[in-house]
């Protein structure tokens, strides 16, 4: 992780609430692009969790990106499923994340229209919502262990957004086939449905106006990925299936308390940055 001189703490008031985040700046370089990294849902979750768990600090130097680690409301994001503390509190997390993008652009000159938003679990669901609701700001979406909420399927963004979707076949918390949240309603009713990895990829290919079909396939003994042919503005969609992978971040050990299997075949943070670099397309070229 970075020394203190590469870290900046930020605070913004959004909807009458003080919202906080930290930003990791690249060493010896001006950042051209901002990466938003969103944590999962846990009462104690903060942006620093993703900073400690992933290699995005190192990627900041390798790719000369600025990386922001925002803090969710009560450890969660208002991702549109209606099941988190943030959803129930009526928090506008799209506005919060937009404000971080604008803050970074004003302070460091990062491109407002070429942001990468990456997330894990609840953070992935929020990344989908952010990419749909702020597509003029987001050029690339990366979702690990989190498909598209069914409530967002009818949302049509104004701009195409490239998407990298990574999911394990043994994920018991957010199954690759889709399903409902573990957080049931007051009467025990099922809530917060998400669609499968295949449906999520198909939806993003449709949004991005990619040619029919999943595109090219690259497979190993431990995973397979389908990369679409180019869509609007050159955008692409990758659906990456991790065989036997659980509710984990590829390339790292599982979080304490989780027993889900974790792959070490690749580092998700590194692959997200590699995927994103050629797809940081200006908004005017991604307009639908």
User: What pLDDT score was predicted for residue 4?
Assistant: 57
The 3-state secondary structure of 18-54, one letter per residue? EEEEEEECCCCCCCCEEEEEECCCCCCCCHHHHHHHC
Dihedral angle, C-alpha 275, 39, 16, 128, nearest 10 °: 40
User: What pLDDT score was predicted for residue 187?
Assistant: 83
Q: Residue 186: which pLDDT band, with cuts at 50, 70 and 90?
A: confident
CA distances from 99 to 31, 125, 198 (A): 18, 19, 32
Indicate whether this model's pTM tops 0.75. Answer: yes
Give the E-state strand segments of the chain in sequence order: 7-14, 17-24, 33-38, 65-70, 115-120, 138-144, 162-168, 216-219, 223-227, 237-242
Q: DSSP letter at 79?
A: -
Q: What is the mean pLDDT of the chain?
A: 95
Round to whole Å and give the CA distance between 288 and 240: 25
Percent of the chain with pLDDT over 70: 98
User: What pLDDT score was predicted for residue 183?
Assistant: 83
Query: What does the pLDDT average to over 10-37?
Result: 95
Please write the tens of the pLDDT for every residue from 57-111: 999 999 999 999 999 999 999 999 999 999 999 999 999 999 999 999 999 999 9
Per the structure, the complete domain to which residue 265 belongs is given by: 4-286
Please write the tens of the pLDDT for every residue from 153-182: 999 999 999 999 999 999 999 999 999 988
User: What pLDDT score was predicted for residue 5?
Assistant: 60
Number of domains observed in the structure of the chain? 1
CATH number at residue 32: 3.40.50.1820
């Amino acid at each position: 992780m970075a020394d203190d001189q590469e870290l900046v703490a930020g605070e913004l008031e959004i909807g009458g609430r003080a919202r906080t985040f930290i930003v990791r700046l690249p060493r010896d370089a001006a950042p051209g692009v901002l990466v938003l990294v969103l944590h999962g849902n846990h009462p104690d979750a903060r942006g620093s969790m993703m900073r400690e768990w992933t290699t995005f600090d190192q990627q900041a130097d390798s790719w000369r990106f600025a990386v922001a680690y925002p803090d969710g409301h009560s450890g969660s994001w208002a991702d549109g499923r209606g099941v988190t503390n943030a959803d129930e509190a009526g928090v506008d997390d799209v506005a919060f994340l937009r404000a971080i993008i604008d803050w970074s652009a004003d302070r460091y000159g990062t491109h407002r229209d070429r942001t990468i938003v990456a997330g894990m679990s609840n953070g992935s669901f929020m990344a989908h919502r952010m990419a749909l609701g702020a597509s003029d700001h987001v050029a690339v979406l990366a979702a690990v262990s989190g498909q598209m909420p069914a409530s967002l399927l009818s949302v049509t963004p104004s701009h195409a957004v490239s998407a990298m979707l990574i999911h394990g076949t043994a994920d018991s918390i957010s199954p690759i086939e889709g399903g409902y949240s573990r957080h049931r309603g007051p009467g025990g009713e099922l809530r917060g449905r998400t669609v499968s990895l295949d449906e999520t990829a198909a939806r993003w290919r449709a949004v991005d106006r990619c040619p029919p079909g999943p595109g090219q396939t690259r497979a190993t003994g431990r995973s397979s990925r389908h990369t679409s042919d180019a869509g609007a503005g050159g955008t692409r969609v990758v659906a990456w299936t991790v065989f036997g992978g659980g509710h984990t971040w590829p390339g790292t050990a599982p979080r304490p308390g989780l027993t889900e299997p974790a792959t070490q075949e690749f580092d998700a943070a590194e692959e997200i940055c590699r995927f994103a670099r050629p797809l940081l397309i200006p908004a005017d070229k991604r307009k639908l």
